[in-house]
């Protein structure tokens, strides 16, 4: 609830949640790929290993996830932020971003693995949930991972590291 003086305590509280900053890569399984950035991503189950992704309904990647039923999460270290920043514009605003990107296809689901990523999670979509907002919740099972640069979560790039916020 926004207060009369313009303060929004809900927005303020939501912005206190730390978010990672990842590249979500998608494929329709027929040769069309996309690369986008996202931060609403988390693990939601140990057995099986399930993850949830908040995916904007109007994004190009949403259509590919619906068709291909897979995606990959490219995880980056703090020092590699320049690689990830290249993908912050939508495909509509930067139609050549996939063509110009250095990547190989992941071994299990065939989604792009971006050169320079620390690790990649390969995910098969279990369910796409319309929660009634501007983003759907994509629930997926992690079926494989590739680690290029071993490390821990203290080295992972976050929105805080960039001084950005995508919440509220």
Tokens read off for 18: 């730390």
- Residue 20: strand, helix, or coil: strand
List the domain boundaries for the chain: 9-162
Quickly state the pLDDT bin for 3 (edges 50, 70, 90): low
pLDDT tens-place string over residues 86-134: 999 888 888 888 999 999 999 999 999 999 999 999 999 999 999 999 9
DSSP per residue, 62-114: HHHHHHH-EEEEEE-BGGGHHHHHTT-S-TTT-TTTTTT--EEE-TTT--EEE
Average pLDDT in the 130-147 region?
97
- Residue 146: strand, helix, or coil: strand
Residue 1 in this model has a pLDDT that exceeds 60? no
Q: How far apart, in whole angstroms, are the C-alpha atoms of residue 61 and residue 74?
A: 14
Quickly state the pLDDT bin for 7 (edges 50, 70, 90): confident
pLDDT tens-place string over residues 22-77: 999 999 999 999 999 999 999 999 999 999 999 999 999 999 999 999 999 999 99
Residue 151 in this model has a pLDDT that exceeds 80? yes
CA-closest candidate to residue 26, choices 116, 87, 82, 81: 87
CATH code of the domain occupying 9-162: 2.30.110.10
Given this model, what pLDDT does residue 4 score?
Answer: 61
Residue 2 in this model has a pLDDT that exceeds 70? no
In angstroms, the Cα distances linking 112 to 15, 39, 41, 103, 129 are 30, 18, 18, 6, 24
- Give the chain's length: 168
Given this model, what pLDDT does residue 163 score?
Answer: 87
């Amino acid at each position: 609830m926004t207060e009369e003086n313009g303060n929004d305590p809900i927005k303020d509280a939501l912005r206190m949640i730390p978010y990672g900053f990842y590249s979500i890569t998608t494929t329709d399984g027929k040769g069309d790929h996309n690369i986008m950035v996202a931060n609403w991503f988390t693990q939601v189950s140990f057995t099986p290993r399930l993850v949830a992704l908040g995916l904007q309904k109007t994004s190009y990647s949403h259509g590919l996830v619906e068709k291909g039923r897979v995606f990959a999460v490219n995880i980056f270290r703090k020092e590699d932020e320049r690689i990830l920043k290249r993908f912050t514009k939508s495909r509509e605003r930067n139609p050549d971003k996939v063509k110009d990107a250095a990547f190989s296809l992941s071994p299990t689901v065939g989604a792009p693995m971006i050169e320079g990523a620390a690790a990649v999670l390969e995910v098969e979509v279990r369910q796409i949930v319309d929660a009634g907002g501007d983003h759907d919740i994509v629930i997926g099972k992690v079926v494989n991972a590739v680690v290029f640069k071993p490390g821990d979560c203290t080295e992972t790039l976050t929105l805080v590291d960039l001084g950005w916020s995508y919440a509220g």
